A and B are shown apart, each in its own frame.
Chain A
Amino acid sequence: MADDANKVNGAEEAPIKERAKPDPPGYFEGESMTRRHVFTVASQALGGLAAAGIVLPAVGFAVAPIFHRGKERWAAVGPVSDFVEDTYRQVVFTETEGIGDAGKTTAYVRRSSEDLGEEPGKFVAVSNRCAHLGCPVRFVETAGNFICPCHGGVYDFQGKRIGGPPVRPLDHFQTRVRNGQVELGPRYSVTSQMEPVRARDPGEFTGGIWEYLYPPRPSTFPPP
């Protein structure tokens, strides 16, 4: 029977040479890829796609806050008449919503002083966040300095570092006056020359090449 099937229109009597067993099974001559290989690659690709479909949204979910900038908040901290040129007044306001007292932060506010080369008629708000590692600094009136209790950072009246491990001056808050009230806005950092830059975390240098080594984060507000 097999011989009959091999005859082509009865043209030849001799049986066709037995075909070599395909190796791997199912392989046809001239194929660039075996059927098995195609299915292997296809199922691996599908599996990879499915895994990516699960992992990528989850990772995106976790890293999304890096690229999210919250709403700009302004907090009134007292009438204009409360603040003078030659000393600071301590104010406490909510910087982060929803976590109770932990979301509050402290700033030291005064009127700007022409003697120090500042634009007159403005208000200066210095954050109490130490530029070393973020401990709360205190303004010591008798010394006229800001002093950090953790590692001994000392800042002068304007917030410039004069001693200890901090890497830059104290951060500032943007200020404005609305309805006779001084309002504090987003935080910004300053360079050693007191030029405003976007807010950096404590421990990060500002100015010069450091602006590239510690790039500004998308979650912070542009400086004034």
Chain B
Amino acid sequence: MPSFPKPKIPDAVVPPPLRKPAKPGSGGTPKGTAPSDLKTSPPERKAPGDKLLDRGKDAPIDALGWVDQRLAASGFLTGMLFRKVPKGTNWFYTLGSATLFAFIVQATTGVFLAMFYTPSATQAYHSISHINNEVPLGQLVHGMHKWGSSVMVILIFLHMGRTFFFGAYKYPRELNWVIGVVLLILTMTMAFTGYLLPFDQRSFWASIVGININGTGPVVGPYLSDFLRAGPELGATTLSRFYAIHMLLVPGAIIALIGAHMYLVVKLGTTAPPWVKAERPKVASPVAQLDAGANGNGRVNGHRSGAPVSGEGNGASA
């Protein structure tokens, strides 16, 4: 670990009571040399406009300072944004943020789609075709929501795969894995309920098949499919029900769980990839030194270092 020199704090930002007084004779005008050239080159004076500009530049910082004095969030934010990450952190570690970004895209486009969408069995299809054909940029926003949903599902699985193959679900991060699995289920619920909303032939029959698959669970299945349909047949209330689940119930739960998920990521930190070996301490422990001598080749097996070893067993495995 290279050590960085301590950064020099400029005097200007240190409040006067903490500032070191200048050594006598070091700062200021050198003794004996009078500022004789005041007439030829007088010190620059700032124009009133420039002063205003300077104050204007400080205004956002002052405003932020005012908020931070009351919120005391800067410590938390600094800790979160400048937290240490392990060696070997690579592009695969961005899959979680990518999933979060996909969710933000879904939430944003979803809000604007809701402004034009009518969750009624007789009008849903027409409102979607209105969005696609008449609303300016409607096709784009609808397309982002439609394709973005697939992107989010794909990303969440890639993120899950990364976590699994890097062993990042192990102690102490098991709870975060569990929360992630719940988020996966909620995302699938979003995909399922959102699919019905355009209410065209494809979404209608896909939802019928999906509900019937739910119904094949023994004992509770039939009641579950009745619950999803709000009755024995897919009807007017089914669409409202799917809309409410898609739009209010599940997004709220997802936002809350994403908060918990990210809290744990920041709190526990991330794992190094499995191919990055733990660094050996610079000064080998007495046991390791003895051990190295016993092996007779003067080196210690990297994977054994740090583990409590008995001389006998280590010699056999070397």
Contacting A65 at CB < 8 Å: which of B122, B216, B226?
Answer: B226
Residue contact B235 to A99, C-beta cutoff 8 Å: yes
Shortest CB-to-CB span from A138 to chain B, Å, is 14
Instruction: Tell me the B residues contacting A by CB distance below 8 Å.
Output: 121-122, 199, 204-205, 208-209, 211-213, 215-216, 218-219, 221-223, 225-227, 229-237, 239
Residue contact B237 to A65, C-beta cutoff 8 Å: yes
Shortest CB-to-CB span from A31 to chain B, Å, is 40
Q: B-facing mask of A207-222, CB < 8 A → 1, else 0? A: 0000001111101100
User: Given known contacts A98-B121, A134-B212, A217-B222, is B231 in contact with A70 (CB within 8 Å)?
Assistant: yes
Closest A residue by C-beta to B220: A215
Q: Which residues in window 154-213 of A have CB below 8 A to B?
A: 199-204, 213
Residue contact A102 to B204, C-beta cutoff 8 Å: yes
Q: Note all chain B residues with C-beta closer than 8 A to A99.
A: 121-122, 235-236, 239
Residue contact A134 to B222, C-beta cutoff 8 Å: no
Residue contact A103 to B235, C-beta cutoff 8 Å: yes
Residue contact B227 to A66, C-beta cutoff 8 Å: yes
B205, B208, B239: residue with the most chain A Cβ atoms closer than 10 Å: B208
Residue contact B221 to A214, C-beta cutoff 8 Å: yes
Residue contact B212 to A203, C-beta cutoff 8 Å: yes
User: Given known contacts A133-B212, A204-B222, A215-B222, is B121 in contact with A220 (CB within 8 Å)?
Assistant: no
Closest A residue by C-beta to B216: A203
Closest A residue by C-beta to B209: A133
Interface of A is mostly: loop
Tell me, yes or no, whether A100 is within 8 Å of chain B by CB.
yes
Residue contact A199 to B232, C-beta cutoff 8 Å: yes
Tell me, yes or no, whether A96 is within 8 Å of chain B by CB.
yes
Residue contact B199 to A68, C-beta cutoff 8 Å: no
Contacting B218 at CB < 8 Å: which of A102, A134, A213, A217?
Answer: A213
User: Given known contacts A203-B213, A213-B219, A215-B222, is B227 in contact with A100 (CB within 8 Å)?
Assistant: no
Q: How far is the CA of A46 from the CA of B219 in the complex (A)?
A: 35
Contacting B222 at CB < 8 Å: which of A96, A97, A135, A200?
Answer: A200
Q: Which residues in window 64-107 of A have CB below 8 A to B?
A: 65-66, 68, 70, 95-100, 102-103
Q: Note all chain A residues with C-beta closer than 8 A to B212.
A: 133-134, 201-203
Residue contact B209 to A217, C-beta cutoff 8 Å: no
Tell me, yes or no, whether A63 is within 8 Å of chain B by CB.
yes
Q: How far is the CA of A188 from the CA of B289 in the complex (A)?
A: 81
Q: Note all chain B residues with C-beta closer than 8 A to A133.
A: 208-209, 212-213
A97, A102, A217: residue with the most chain B Cβ atoms closer than 10 Å: A102
Q: List 16 A-B contacts (CB under 8 A).
A: A66-B227, A70-B231, A96-B234, A96-B236, A97-B235, A98-B236, A102-B204, A134-B211, A134-B212, A199-B232, A201-B211, A201-B216, A201-B222, A203-B213, A204-B215, A213-B219
